[in-house]
Amino acid sequence: MRAKKKIALVGAGLIGRRHFDVMRKLDDDIIIDSIVDPSEAGQDFAKSRHIPWYPSIGDMILASSPDGAVLATPNQVHVVNGVECVNAGIPILVEKPIATSCSAAEELVKAAADNDVPVLVGHHRRHNPWICRAKEMIKSGGLGRVTSVHGSFWLYKPEDYFEQEWRRKDGGGPIMVNLIHDIDLLRYLCGEIEMVQAISSNKERGFETEDTAVAMIAFKSGALCSFNLSDTIVAPWSWELTASENPEYPATSQSCYMIGGTRASLSIPDMKVWSHGEHGHWKEPIHAKSVSEPKRDPLLLQMKHFIDVIRKEAEPIVSAQDAVESLRAVESIKLSALQNRPVYLHEKQT
Ligand X SMILES: NC(=O)c1ccc[n+]([C@@H]2O[C@H](COP(=O)([O-])OP(=O)(O)OC[C@H]3O[C@@H](n4cnc5c(N)ncnc54)[C@H](O)[C@@H]3O)[C@@H](O)[C@H]2O)c1
Tell the smallest beta-carbon distance from residue 165 to ligand X (Å). 14
What residues have CB less than 8 Å from 316, skipping those under 6 apart? 118, 119, 120, 121, 305, 309, 322
Q: Give the H/E segment covering residue 15.
A: helix 14-25
Largest CA distance in the chain: 70
Judged by beta carbon, residue 123 or residue 272, the one nearer ligand X is 123
Minimum gap (Å) between residue 125 Cβ and ligand X? 8
CA torsion sign, 301 to 303 to 305 to 311? negative
**Pick 4 or 17: Cβ nearer ligand X:** 17
Provide, rounded to whole angstroms, the least separation between the CB of residue 75 and ligand X: 5
CB of 57 to ligand X, least distance (A): 6
Q: Which residues bind ligand X (CB under 6 A)?
A: 10-16, 36-39, 42, 72-75, 77, 81, 95-96, 122, 124
Nearer to ligand X, 12 or 264 (CB): 12
Closer residue to ligand X in complex, CB, 15/146: 15
Residue among 38 and 222 whose Cβ is closer to ligand X: 38
Q: What are phi and psi of 4, to 5 degrees?
A: -70, 155
Smallest gap from Cβ 278 to ligand X, in A, equals: 43
User: 12 near 35, Cβ under 8 Å?
Assistant: yes
CB of 29 or CB of 95, closer to ligand X: 95
Beta-bridge partner residues of 54? 36
* Nearest to ligand X of 249, 274 (CB atom): 249
Q: Which is nearer to ligand X, 166 or 274 (CB)?
A: 166
Least distance (Å) from ligand X to the CB of residue 122?
5
Please identify the residue of the shown chain whose CB is closest to the bound ligand X: 13
Distance CA 118, CA 93 (A): 9
Q: In 10 A of CB 28, how many CB atoms?
A: 9
* Cβ at position 214, least distance to ligand X in Å: 23
- CA distance from start to end of the chain: 57
Secondary structure (3-state) at 118: coil
Residue 184 sits at the vertex; the CA angle it makes with 180 and 185, to the nearest 5 degrees, is: 120
Residue type, position 122, single letter: G
- Provide, rounded to whole angstroms, the least separation between the CB of residue 263 and ligand X: 33
* Residue 341, number of CB atoms within 10 A of its CB: 10
Q: Decide if 175 contacts 333 (C-beta within 8 A).
A: yes
Dihedrals phi, psi of 281, to nearest 5 degrees: -140, 180
